[in-house]
Structure 1
């Protein structure tokens, strides 16, 4: 017997641009799936840095996306639009362009992955955004390959911890930067070969020392600004610099001569505004190459803290504090 879908649902909305206190619990009409879409009864939703930026008013949702924050969910399929082959009752996690902080969320069928029994729903909700981001940027744009050494900033963030775990599984040596000795210890416990406290050490010098002067094949950078020229100093010849955020600003000054002489590649990407066809392609790649590790209980997200939906403001405050290690997740029901 199919579940009765209510006309209204709980959701978190942004009352006005500003601090975490501007997130409020409200009621919204329950969405309905269109062609190629699924309606998911959400069990949990991941909290990500873009959600914080959206709340602050500096990262609006793309055209057509829900204004409800939340870019990744896990739950149960309760309805399907035309063209979807997913069975009602299937457990899925999904990358979405918005709408995750709610009891129900519409997800493109192509961005859904099955949730195996070895994953709790809160863990499954912590997978899509970081996994898609790391796969696209470290492996596809950065061409990281077995045996490469890579540098990842923000080593204990959701993206950083996923880069460590997935990179290690796929044969990378992962060096990270962190903001404290405690976080460095946590990163090394997860599999990083080196963890550099950027507040106490010069990461450029440390990378050169720890690679015997060779440098790294790829830098995955979410800092931007004045980090970019320093990152280039960390690269080996033919190295790749991949930008995914710019917490220290969107502009940098680099030497074109150095880029030419050492054949460096500067690239980057955003994910939220990419079209469904691209995200579906990435999901298919992950299903083939990465999901077997998930199903085999060899790849799980690093979990920091789980908050109830109504405590979304506390979850955002936790993220902004910078004290978290791994993923912060909202849970819809106890």
Structure 2
């Protein structure tokens, strides 16, 4: 499924089946995750990186149906999920083998599509970039989102104190049930006051960008790390360098889709870290995919509308076939 050029409409198209190149596998897709990046791409605001498929979809689950040259870790018939640069809204997708993860035994194959993007985002940002440690206070903006619900579980399992912002009582209750220690109604309370009253945030995982930059820095503890992974609140803001220096704090900006497949800072390294950090927590049941809703591929418009509404708790998925 592609976005129609020059519009924000979606179109189902027929293309040739992909063949695995060297180091690649082909996955028969069972389900695909719906991400905000997909909404941006269909609006023309987030084009795929050079060489990536222009078909929407950044994560899938399914069964391996073909294996390319030099692939030894995977076999035809393996149940897997995978991180993509594009191409997930399809019956088949070719993907570098280093971006593939095994389906956890505790998770059904459809729900496994809810894992790759959020798990890789959380592992790479909280632990690789921000070096989050047990006992620290983590503030997650958008605690009921796909990334938020996953991050709460992982952080709680690793003895991190967790604070979240969420709009509705139902969302705040859900976050608390997942393990959040502090839940903040950002429509009624100033998260800066709440967090500073709790000692300050050691790490902030932020999806808002410019809108929250100044307040996020105020909420940081000495030595705190602000990790910006989204720009829902804009791309430009003023920053007090003095405030940052006084706190000996850091502001980090990261992205996942445009990383190279291999090498330093690559998707391969992110997937390796995710499998090492997160997969054991899933295998033991301490972390589970949170699925808000599923839609057939033909109803991708409705799936996008559900995500765009802001009412979803956890991931929205498309089922294929």
TM-score by length of 1: 0.93
Structure 2 gaps of 5+ residues are none
Separation in 2 of the partners of 1:240 and 1:264? 6
Partner of 1:178: 166
Partner of 2:15: 28
Deviates more, 1:54-63 or 1:249-258: 249-258
1:83 aligns with 2:70: yes
Partner of 1:215: 200
Where do 1:311-330 residues align within 5 Å? 311-330=299-318
Deviates more, 1:47-56 or 1:179-188: 179-188
1:193 aligns with 2:178: no
Kept in 2, the 8 Å contact 1:154–1:177? The answer is yes
- The Cα offsets for residues 115-173 of structure 1, whole Å up to 9 and x where unpaired, read as 13321112110000000001111111111111111101011000111110111111111
Partner of 1:72: 59
Question: Cα RMSD (Å) of the superposition?
Answer: 1.1
Secondary structure in 2 matching 1:29: coil
- The Cα offsets for residues 66-106 of structure 1, whole Å up to 9 and x where unpaired, read as 00010001100000111111111111100010000000011
Secondary structure in 1 matching 2:124: helix
1:14 aligns with 2:37: no
Kept in 2, the 8 Å contact 1:17–1:55? The answer is no
1:168 aligns with 2:156: yes
Separation in 1 of the partners of 2:104 and 2:153? 18
Kept in 2, the 8 Å contact 1:137–1:268? The answer is no
Where do 1:23-172 residues align within 5 Å? 23-85=10-72, 86-172=74-160
Where do 1:254-333 residues align within 5 Å? 254-277=239-262, 278-333=266-321
- The Cα offsets for residues 228-263 of structure 1, whole Å up to 9 and x where unpaired, read as 110011100010011101111111111111111110
TM-score by length of 2: 0.96
Secondary structure in 2 matching 1:121: coil
Q: What's the offset of the Cα at 1:18?
A: 4.2
Deviates more, 1:273-282 or 1:60-69: 273-282
Secondary structure in 2 matching 1:27: coil
Separation in 2 of the partners of 1:60 and 1:247? 17
Separation in 1 of the partners of 2:169 and 2:71? 48
- The Cα offsets for residues 291-310 of structure 1, whole Å up to 9 and x where unpaired, read as 12222232211110011111
Structure 1 gaps of 5+ residues are 1-11
Separation in 2 of the partners of 1:327 and 1:65? 23
Deviates more, 1:250-259 or 1:40-49: 250-259
Kept in 2, the 8 Å contact 1:207–1:234? The answer is yes
Task: State how many pairs are aligned.
Answer: 317
- The Cα offsets for residues 298-325 of structure 1, whole Å up to 9 and x where unpaired, read as 2211110011111111000001100000
Secondary structure in 2 matching 1:79: strand
Kept in 1, the 8 Å contact 2:54–2:87? The answer is yes
Instruction: Give the direction of change, closer, same or farther, for the CA distance of 1:163–1:233 in structure 2 (3 Å limit).
Output: same
Separation in 2 of the partners of 1:218 and 1:188? 19
Secondary structure in 1 matching 2:272: helix
Kept in 1, the 8 Å contact 2:26–2:93? The answer is yes
